[in-house]
Chains A and B, each alone.
Chain A
Amino acid sequence: MNWETVIGLEVHLQLATRSKLFSGAATAFGAAPNTQACAIDLALPGTLPVLNRAAVEMAIRFGLAVHAEINPISVFERKNYFYPDLPKGYQTTQLARPIVGPGHLDIELTDGGSKRVRIHHAHLEEDAGKSLHEGFHGLSGIDLNRAGTPLIEIVTEPDLASAEEAVAFAKKLHAIVTALSISDGDLSQGSMRFDVNISVRRPGEPLGTRTETKNLNSFRFMERAIHKEVARQIDVLEGGGRVIQETRLYDGDTDSARAMRSKEEANDYRYFPCPDLLPLQVDAELIERLRATQPELPEARRARFVTDYGLSDYDAGQLAGDTATAHYFEAAARAAGDAKLAANWVMGEIAARLNSAELGIGQCPVSPEQLGGLLRRIVDHTLSNAIARQVFEELWRGAAADADSVIEAQGLRQVSDSGAIAAMVDAVIGANAQQVAAYRAAPEAKRPKMLGFFVGQVMKASGGKADPRQVNELVAARLAEDA
């Protein structure tokens, strides 16, 4: 008998504001410990919160992107618990009245279909600090730089049925929030963290007991953690046991999970409206202003890439999904004057090189303008594809400012003078009488393959600079002539 998996996600998304949700301290990553935690973030007595406008607007932008209702009045509450990384002893969050109400997001399934995932709500809240455990002779060190960083927590309905769907949803969400520029989407820095609620059941039966696996910070870990937890629950149930409702921690390094010990014991968060903050009112005018200035989202961009650039739906999808990639592609296409060529290079050479160097598109050593400049020289037949790769290598190494200076310095201009190419073709044909004879004796079907030998020889003789299209034509013509 088979099992059904039921998954709901809670996504903590760090908003890309300059300052914190309730204080004017900076939010940048990587500062020395506690140098970005001001008196308010440290909860010194007498300090008070004032809400960041940008965080509110970002939350609204998110809500609009997932077709959600924006609540005209939302309320901040205090979630009370003691933890050394939580300076006030409560987290300021939203519960009963979140800023973003119900919405939805459609994901594409591997079978080509799509699925609507309902979003229960999204609310604004502050992040906590971090505990460091190494190097403090058995104690922990608390760094509160992250305390007070604005988050939106996005809560889905339990509409996801597999790890793959969960990952597809997470990636789609990532694409949207980066398109909106409301988050840097840097998973490695914890900008997007996933809590996964998982249960299994027999088809047709009521929902099973769920567990929550917390703080997954990569798509791969999320996928693995879900597989692992689903398998564990099925094992438990098939062994006659019962799933215990608990919070679990997944360790990506060891690909293992365990139940959490602290924090969750006897929790009673005693939520109540934060008396230091007043109800947040969002008027229709603000919503309309944000709606009017909403950046293009991946789905719309994909459609535009198909119509504007004549890309295939698949290619458009590849390029439009990630905003940085899409921007890179569009800039390169503009500079190249040939969108399809730019698309091929961005998805081919660039993607492969970035992948092996483990770089993001934002860190690509070749700017889209440089790439476009290079591609322009393919379009105008100055460079063959092979030489273009050579030039690309120079650009990647940072050895030159643009393709043209490499071409100039190394004399790489493609030979398209038909007289010069004809001479090289003649020389190759003259020097390879045996192959010529074989070619001419061969049946028609085999000839195109054999033609490659001569073309290769000519290209080699030209140092790769001959225009391969011309070489092909001339070689074929010459071999046919004398037959």
Chain B
Amino acid sequence: MAIQRADIEKLCYLARIDLTEDTAADTAAGINRVLELIDQLRAADTAGIAPLAHPLEETQRLREDRVEEKVDRDALQAVAPAVESGLYLVPRVIE
């Protein structure tokens, strides 16, 4: 099922990836190639088959409720693009 330019723009917004004018056509073509591939799934007979999310059907292990992480803020923020007074700076958040 081929997708159109408008769909690509919506996807790019959902995924927060700026779509530049010069690559838009290539992006759409590439995605449509992949969609042709995955559309082969439609032919598969999967009636009554339960989905498989994990290869091994194990269940979740639980962690005891203990404070085990010592937070070294300076070390963690050494890789941050912009911090001030221990906070990560971003353009103003408007709700």
Contacts and interface: CB of A to CB of B under 8 A. Distances in A.
* Interface of chain A: mostly helix, strand, loop or mixed: loop
B14 A268 contact: yes
Given A249-B95, A261-B94, A281-B60, A141 B84 contact: yes
Contact of A50 (B63, B84, B87, B93): B63
B1 interface: no
Interface stretch (B18-26, B28-36, B39-47, B65-73): B65-73
Nearest to B64: A53
A397 interface: no
Contacts of B66: 18-19, 24
Nearest to A150: B65
Contact of A139 (B73, B77, B89): B89
A205 to B, nearest CB: 33
A472 B85 CA distance: 69
A37 interface: yes
A33 B87 contact: yes
B63 A35 contact: no
Contact of B77 (A32, A34, A143): A34
Given A19-B65, A25-B71, A279-B60, A34 B90 contact: no
Interface string A244-273: 000001000000000011110010101001
Interface centre among A80, A142, A275 (most CB of B within 10 A): A142
A427 B69 CA distance: 76
Contacts of B13: 266
Contacts of B77: 34
B86 interface: yes
Q: How large is the interface on A (under 10, 10 to 19, 20 to 34, 35 or more residues)?
A: 35 or more
Contacts of A42: 76
Contacts of B68: 19, 24
Interface residues of B, number: 34
Contacts of B16: 82
Given A141-B84, A261-B94, A51 B89 contact: no
Given A24-B69, A53-B62, A261-B95, A33 B85 contact: yes
A82 B85 CA distance: 24
A278 B85 CA distance: 38
Given A26-B67, A38-B71, A142 B60 contact: no
Given A19-B67, A132-B87, A275-B53, A51 B60 contact: yes
A36 B84 CA distance: 17
Contacts of B85: 33, 141
Given A24-B68, A26-B67, A34-B73, 11 more contacts: A25-B67, A33-B85, A35-B71, A36-B71, A42-B76, A73-B59, A84-B90, A141-B84, A260-B95, A262-B93, A281-B59
Interface of A: 17-19, 23-26, 32-40, 42, 44, 50-56, 73, 75-76, 80, 82-85, 131-133, 136, 138-144, 249, 260-263, 266, 268, 270, 273, 275, 277-281
17 contacts: A24-B63, A50-B63, A51-B62, A52-B65, A54-B65, A131-B90, A131-B93, A133-B93, A136-B89, A140-B92, A141-B87, A142-B87, A142-B89, A143-B86, A261-B94, A278-B59, A281-B59
